[in-house]
Structure 1
Amino acid sequence: MTTTTELIPVSGGGHLWAERAGDGPPLVLLHGSVHDSRLWNRVFAPLAQHHTVIRYDARGHGRSTLATAPFRYEDDLLAVLDHFAFPAAELVGLSMGGEVALDFTLEHPERVRALTLIAASAGGHEWPRSPDMEAYGAAQHGSDARRIAELELTLWASLGDRAPGFDVIEPMVRQNADIRAAAAKGHALDPDEDAVGRLDRIAVPTTVIVGDHDHPEISVIARRLADGIPDARTEVVGNADHYLPLRAPGRLLELLLGG
């Protein structure tokens, strides 16, 4: 498989690191918080047999630069589509990446052909208070990289180090935890990004996917997305936590390729 890597200019003088492979209908992969494009290691090449696939590191993650001014992840995604001259693309996003893909679809419906939301968060959904999530928020607020990584691996990689993919998950999380807090502080929150109140406006084919071992609130959000988005398809994947593309890549490929 031939791949190319590119640096995509974005606002504030920075760039996004991106990788492209394959030929066919365009598909863009968006990772979650404390992740980078390695999240897609086990599905990237197989998808490229059917699509022109783009994976990129979000602002401040992986090999992309930190923000020097306020920015929006949705604007960065638009820059990616424009850079590769894609009039429209299928979007596949996990966690934060799913939230970005959802907000982008509401903002730029003409640029999206289909939407896959994996273990997605969603703007406007209020999480219940819990000691674990409060500790996670405090670690991010305090830029405590060691604690961020520790809690990430405990709360979100619940299947542990004996399940598939941990060899990628652990170093990815620990490396991105060092810069996650700085990336989050550069993100300009939009008070109008209340996606859960506008789900009925999504008019593209949508699949909502969740792992059976993910955080319980992710399943709550998945049901809310599936109930609110017209004709959305829902799939629960077995033996998968929040890191579903690395835990159950075979089943995810079946779902993304029409299985």
Structure 2
Amino acid sequence: MIISHDVAGSGPAVVLLHSSVCDRRMWDAQWQPLVDAGYRVVRCDFHGFGDTPLSDVPYSDTGDVLALLDHLGIETAALVGASHGGRIALTAAALRPEAVTALALLGAGMPGHRPSDTLRAFGGREDELIEAGEIDAAVELNVGSWLGPEADEETRAKVRRMQRHAFDVQLEATVGPDREDVDLGRITAPTLAVSGAHDFPDFREIAAALPGLLPDARHRELPWAGHLPSLERPAETTELLLAFLREAVPAAP
């Protein structure tokens, strides 16, 4: 099946890939500015998030994104990924380097990354709460862990809704996504790797390491940000993304 998605605009394609705490609604603030800037913008929900149901057969989030591009007739695209979406963007760029024109990564995961003790402790606590049936507490753990100090209550409420929906759907899952092992050395796209000073150390270290792993990558740390800067300071993050995209894949005036 083709995963749920939105498409608008014309010009160079930009695909927005959400974190595993959210769904495609996390890009609400970036959506129209990117369209207005002259891009054909796509955003999608992975299996078990937003409007895309669970899968009862083995699947790959990366494969789903590449299949969506094929379905839409998009031969090349810039990928903007947050957290899990960033890991998917890196994987797609390694599997199909000729199709990816640019990578903008916000607190991205990375294929093959081994979690730190801090991140494993978070995951263990989340598992404990879920196994105890304390889903509301698991939601609050995620909201408190992934949003930095700049996030207001409206933003926290939005993440709370998206995370709760994901839990409600995914607790019925019998099949999870495949994890691809890829060679990041195949990536050729210009890359912006953004980290937040208030994020888990894993994601800060990944962003800082990418310029040494990719041929055309730069790292920028945001001193005010947690894990989800596009939600914490949406206007500032939108301008950051637009500045990078205008340089890497300029739209027609």
| TM range, smaller chain | 0.7 to 0.9
Instruction: Report the equivalent of 2:232.
Output: 247
Taking the aligned partners of 1:66 and 1:207, their CA distance within structure 2 comes to 31
TM-score, structure 1 normalization: 0.84
Unpaired runs of at least 5, structure 2: 245-253
Instruction: Note if contact 1:211-1:238 (Cα within 8 Å) is conserved in structure 2.
Output: yes
- Cα deviations by residue, 1:145-203 (Å, 9 ceiling, x for unpaired): 3343122112112427636622422211222222234558421234xx1x5xx333321
SS for the counterpart of 1:68 is coil
Of 158-167 and 200-209, deviating more is 158-167
Shift of 1:137: 4.5
- Cα deviations by residue, 1:49-90 (Å, 9 ceiling, x for unpaired): 120000111111001111010100111001110111001100
Instruction: Note if contact 2:10-2:35 (Cα within 8 Å) is conserved in structure 1.
Output: yes
> Quick one: structure 1 residues 33 and 116, their matched pair in 2 at CA, closer, same or farther if it must change by over 3 Å?
same
Instruction: Note if contact 2:140-2:160 (Cα within 8 Å) is conserved in structure 1.
Output: no
Taking the aligned partners of 2:18 and 2:158, their CA distance within structure 1 comes to 14
- Choose the corresponding residue for 1:36, options 23, 34, 40: 23
Instruction: Report the equivalent of 2:248.
Output: none
* Alignment pair present for 1:166 and 2:126: no
What value does the CA root-mean-square deviation take over the aligned residues? 2.3
Q: Counterparts of 1:172-191 in structure 2 under 5 Å?
A: 172-182=162-172, 185-190=175-180
> Quick one: structure 1 residues 83 and 223, their matched pair in 2 at CA, closer, same or farther if it must change by over 3 Å?
same
Shift of 1:246: 1.1
Shift of 1:46: 0.3
The one-letter amino acid of 1:110's match is E
- Choose the corresponding residue for 1:74, options 53, 59, 62: 62
Instruction: Note if contact 1:34-1:180 (Cα within 8 Å) is conserved in structure 2.
Output: no
> Quick one: structure 1 residues 95 and 76, their matched pair in 2 at CA, closer, same or farther if it must change by over 3 Å?
same
Shift of 1:237: 2.3
* Alignment pair present for 1:118 and 2:103: no
Taking the aligned partners of 2:174 and 2:239, their CA distance within structure 1 comes to 33
- Choose the corresponding residue for 1:24, options 11, 16, 34: 11
- Cα deviations by residue, 1:112-142 (Å, 9 ceiling, x for unpaired): 1111111001111111224333213455678
TM-score, structure 2 normalization: 0.86
Count of aligned pairs: 241
Structure (1/2) with the larger helix percentage: 2
Taking the aligned partners of 1:182 and 1:34, their CA distance within structure 2 comes to 17
What is the percent sequence identity of the aligned residues? 32
* Alignment pair present for 1:199 and 2:187: no
Instruction: Note if contact 2:49-2:169 (Cα within 8 Å) is conserved in structure 1.
Output: yes
Instruction: Could you list the structure 1 runs, at least 4 aligned residues long, displaced by more than 4 angstroms after superposition.
Output: 137-144, 181-184
- Cα deviations by residue, 1:199-253 (Å, 9 ceiling, x for unpaired): 3332111110112222222101111223211221112224221121111222222
> Quick one: structure 1 residues 167 and 144, their matched pair in 2 at CA, closer, same or farther if it must change by over 3 Å?
closer
> Quick one: structure 1 residues 228 and 63, their matched pair in 2 at CA, closer, same or farther if it must change by over 3 Å?
same
Instruction: Report the equivalent of 1:128.
Output: 116
Of 218-227 and 114-123, deviating more is 218-227
Taking the aligned partners of 1:183 and 1:221, their CA distance within structure 2 comes to 29
The one-letter amino acid of 1:71's match is Y
Bigger RCO of structures 1 and 2 (CA < 8 A, at least 6 apart): 2
Instruction: Report the equivalent of 2:249.
Output: none
* Alignment pair present for 1:226 and 2:211: yes
* Alignment pair present for 1:152 and 2:139: no
Instruction: Note if contact 1:37-1:62 (Cα within 8 Å) is conserved in structure 2.
Output: yes
Taking the aligned partners of 2:142 and 2:87, their CA distance within structure 1 comes to 18
Unpaired runs of at least 5, structure 1: 1-9
